[in-house]
Amino acid sequence: MNRTEELINKWLDEGLSTGETAELDAALDAQRTATRTLASLFEMELLMRALKENVDVTENVMRAVRLEAGRKAAEGRPIPGADVTVQRVPGARGRVLGGPWERSRRIRWPIAAAIAVAGLLGVMAGSYVLVRLASERAANLRPSEQKSASARVTEVKGQCLVAPISAGGFEQVSAGAELADGSVLRTGGNGSGGQLDFGGGKVGLTLAERTEATVKVGGGEPQGSWGVELRAGQVEAHIHEKGVRFEVSTAVGSARAVGTRFVVKLITDEAEKEINGVRNLAGVVMVTTVISGVVDVTGPSGTQTAVAGDRIVVSERGATGGGVKAVVGEMGEAPRATPPQRPEVTLTGKLTKEVTPAPESQLREHPEVKAFTIFTLTTDDGRKFTVMTRKPVKREDGTPSGQNVDLTPFVDQDVKIVGTVHEEPASAHVTSITSIEKLVKPGK
Amino acid sequence: MLSGEQTDSIVRRVTAGETECYADIVRTYQRSVWQTVLLAAGDLHTPEDLVQQTFVQAFRHLDQYRLGSNFRHWINRIARNIAFQELRRRAREDRRLRVYYEYLEEAADDRVSGERLEKLAAALQGCRGFLSEPASRALALRYEQAKGFEEIAGILGRTVAGTRQLLQRVRETLKKCIDDHPALA
């Protein structure tokens, strides 16, 4: 064995030192035979490595395939190349993907609240075409008595199709229709949407446009089996009655809500596969926005608690699909959402208005954020704080949210701000403003 | 294991909406796709990603598969293209991978075709029969059970250096045997 072959074998077996790497690379540059030897020995090595029993990828592939089928169906495209509908996924609920899961940085108050409420406003304004919550309720039923083998469509806007599990294709559904367990709902684009209720109004569910979900009503089982399997798009669950449980199963992540309202959005578009720095090969990202109450979001590595105004992004690095995990909503004593108590600080610096109001990832998901005005305060010691203002709105619990301080007169001015802040290594925000005044610095 | 006809039947059902049937295809062809990915992408830390991508791509384009043709070759072509892209990307930074990429590229379709892979795998199995008992055992420990050199040395009662030499000789012996194998002539 000559020196080059020795180096090639060492490279294949254990790796080379820097000097040996340079020596081998030089030999490859100089000798045509060396490249042939390396290539054929490497091929042999790879062939032998293929002897190892490989990991069975069937389950992971099937998760991705189900999502792909759901996504295509939600877009109204056939699967794949045929005139058929998505099938119900038997036994998919509750599976947990292996591998690490990631949670984005908590979007802090008031940014999170702003985005959540803005999302809600945007939804109400028509982006997601939410329709009015159902008003009918079976008030006399106690939770333990709520047994229903169907969900009822209360409102439909635009294209809202349903495929009963026994049917071969989709057909337009009308308000009043009863949906059996396993029925697949699909909303079209252009402002389509739908509203369901479960248990005669105990749970209201809103489907945004381009959404596909399978209805679960448990075939008359006790409450707790109500829910949907979300395959694409977005739903908003509103649990109206204490003790009622409702599940939104999605491809990634798991959350348990002790509150009343939450939105789950499943992002599967290639273009959106990177969100808040969480990369996902298949572009499968679940975003849970908590509108009121508390949601515990659980992944393989633990549980994170989100309160009203927070948004939790759950993804799995490298996942090409996902088993369906549960997002459980249960109405309890919904705690009053209160922003964290922070001490007041005084900041001095220059206030500038931002041209780009928010990171691209946020704008992509929440185009309505553009309506907000975002400023940057660069303090005298060089720190940068984001200051976001908007028209204040009332949260569900009646507390005001938002800062209605008009900062426009202070743009490009040296200012003193008294208020609360939140700082992280990567970003800092002014979370509330008690007072602001122009500063006249000596010499100016 | 599915025959060609059975595979075609499943493809029909999947394209007709029975998505769950696709699992049978994955189970049947994943071994072959693994081999293709490993050979066409070179050394990888996470070949599973590429194997999964292959099957998802195949599902997306299942309507383009011509019934009656060889499904294994069709899906291996997808695997090879996906793995080649990965190899090309990594070859930009690694001289040795670039050599391998050029070696595969020269042979184009032939080198990592499904048909050649089947022959290679068969030839490898045949050639293993020519190895000595210690060499055969070392091969199994290293490649089938993915054990480290030290552990193999302990099992075989050899030094680590001796074990490395033994496995290098195994590699060269098998390479010569496969090069001369009539099925690959």
pLDDT digits (tens, 9 = 90+) for A251-294: 555 455 544 567 776 665 443 333 333 333 334 566 666 666 55
Closest chain A residue to B55, measured at CA: A61
The neighbour count for residue A350, using CB atoms within 10 Å, is: 16
| pLDDT at res. B75 | 93
Instruction: Nearest by CB to A61, from B52, B99, B171: name it.
Output: B52
Q: What confidence tens digit (pLDDT) does each residue in A45-66 have?
A: 888 887 777 778 888 888 878 8
The pLDDT, as a whole number, for residue A95 is 22
- B residues 75-94 closer than 8 Å to A (CB): none
Task: Determine whether the interchain pair B26/A61 forms a contact, defined as Cβ–Cβ distance below 8 Å.
Answer: yes
Provide the mean pLDDT of chain B: 85
Q: Per the CB < 8 Å rule, is B26 touching A82?
A: no
pTM above 0.80, yes or no: no
User: Which residues are within 8 A (CB) of A369 and not within 5 positions of it... i.e. 6 or more apart?
Assistant: A114, A115, A118, A357, A358, A362, A363
* CA-based nearest residue in chain A for residue B168: A9
Residue A376, sorted as left (phi over 0), alpha (psi -120 to 50) or beta, turns out to be beta
Residue B27 contacts A, CB cutoff 8 Å: yes
Total CB pairs under 8 A between chain A and B: 162
Residue in B16, B60, B143 closest to A52 by CB: B143
Tell me the pLDDT tens digit for each residue of A156-212. 887 777 776 655 566 778 888 888 777 878 887 777 788 888 877 777 888 887 777
Closest chain B residue by Cα to residue A62: B23
Q: Do A44 and B120 touch (CB under 8 A)?
A: no
A39 and B103 within 8 Å at the Cβ level: the answer is yes
Of the ranges A349-358, B27-36, B40-49, which one carries the lowest mean pLDDT score? Answer: A349-358
B38 inside 8 A of chain A by CB:
yes
Q: Which of B15, B22, B30 sits opposite A65 (nearest CB)?
A: B22
For residue A238, is it left (φ>0), alpha (ψ between -120 and 50) or beta?
beta
- Give the range among A302-316, A339-353, B91-105, B161-175 with minimum mean pLDDT: A302-316
Model confidence over A90-107: pLDDT tens digits?
222 222 222 222 222 233
In chain A, which residues have their Cβ closer than 8 Å to the Cβ of B167? 13
Residues of A (24-63) whose Cβ lies below 8 Å from B: 24-25, 28, 35-36, 38-58, 60-62
d(CA A285, CA A100): 14
Give the three-class secondary structure for B60: helix
Closest CA to A163 of A88, A223, A93: A88
B23-58 in b/e form (b: 16+ CB < 10 A) is bbbbebbbbbbbbbbbbbbbbbeebbbbbbbbbbbb
Chain A residue numbers with beta carbons less than 8 Å from the beta carbon of B49 are 281, 318, 320
- More confident site: A75 or A434: A434
